[in-house]
Amino acid sequence: MQSNESNKLLAKLEVIKEDKDPYKDFLTSFDPEAQPKLEHILTELKEYSSNCDEIEMVKNAFSLAVNLHGSQKRASGEPYYLHPIEVAEILIKLKSDPEMITAGLLHDVLEDTDYPPEKLKEVFGDKVYLLVDSLTKLGKFNFSSKEERQAESFRRMFMAMAKDIRVIVIKLADRLHNMRTLHHLTPEKQKRIAGDTLDIFAPLANRLGMGKIKWDLEDMSLRYLHPEDYWKITKHVSQKREVRENYVFRVISELDDELKNHNIKAQISGRPKHFYSIYQKMVKQKKEFHELYDIIAMRIKVDTKADCYEALGIVHATLKPIPGRFKDYIAMPKPNLYQSLHTTVIGPEGYPLEIQIRTHDMHRIAEYGIAAHWTYKEKAAGRVVDKDAENLQLAWLRQLIDWQSDLKDANEYLDTVKIDLFTDEVFVFTPKGDVYSLPQGATAIDFAYRIHTDVGHRCIGAKVNGKIVTLNMPLNNGDQIDIMLSKVKQPSLDWINFVATSHAKNRIRQWFKKEKREENIIKGKDTLEADLAKVNMDELPEKQKKLEELARKLNHHTVDDMYASIGYGELTTMQIISRIRSDYIHNNPEANIPTVVESKDLKKKPNSDILVDGVDGLLINVAPCCNPVPGEDIKGVVTRGKGMIIHSENCINLQQVTPGRIIGVSWGAVDKNKQSSYPAEIEVISLDRIGLLKDVIGKLSDSKINILSA
Please identify every residue annotated as catalytic.
Answer: 111-112
Reduce the DSSP state of residue 415 to 3 states and report it: helix
Reduce the DSSP state of residue 33 to 3 states and report it: helix
Paired sense of beta strands 296-302 and 352-359, if any: parallel
Question: How far is the C-alpha of 403 from the C-alpha of 709, rounded, in Å?
Answer: 42
Question: How far is the C-alpha of 131 from the C-alpha of 128, rounded, in Å?
Answer: 5
The DSSP 8-state label assigned to residue 494 in this structure reads G
- Assess contact for 490 and 457: CB atoms under 8 A: yes
Question: How far is the C-alpha of 646 from the C-alpha of 664, rounded, in Å?
Answer: 10
Return the beta strands (E) in 253-320 as ranges: 267-272, 296-302
Question: How far is the C-alpha of 417 from the C-alpha of 161, rounded, in Å?
Answer: 14
Phi-psi region of 481 (alpha: psi -120 to 50; beta: other; left: phi over 0): beta
Q: If we measure between CA atoms, which residue out of 384, 683, 411, 370 comes closest to residue 554?
A: 411
Question: How far is the C-alpha of 200 from the C-alpha of 422, rounded, in Å?
Answer: 9
- Assess contact for 679 and 621: CB atoms under 8 A: no
The DSSP 8-state label assigned to residue 270 in this structure reads E
Amino acid at 34: A
Question: How far is the C-alpha of 618 from the C-alpha of 629, rounded, in Å?
Answer: 19
Helix-, strand-, coil-residue percentages of the chain, each rounded to 5:
55, 15, 35
Question: How far is the C-alpha of 4 from the C-alpha of 10, rounded, in Å?
Answer: 10
Question: How far is the C-alpha of 585 from the C-alpha of 592, rounded, in Å?
Answer: 8
- Assess contact for 194 and 220: CB atoms under 8 A: yes
Reduce the DSSP state of residue 588 to 3 states and report it: coil
The DSSP 8-state label assigned to residue 474 in this structure reads P
Residue 210's Cα: distance from chain center in Å?
A: 14
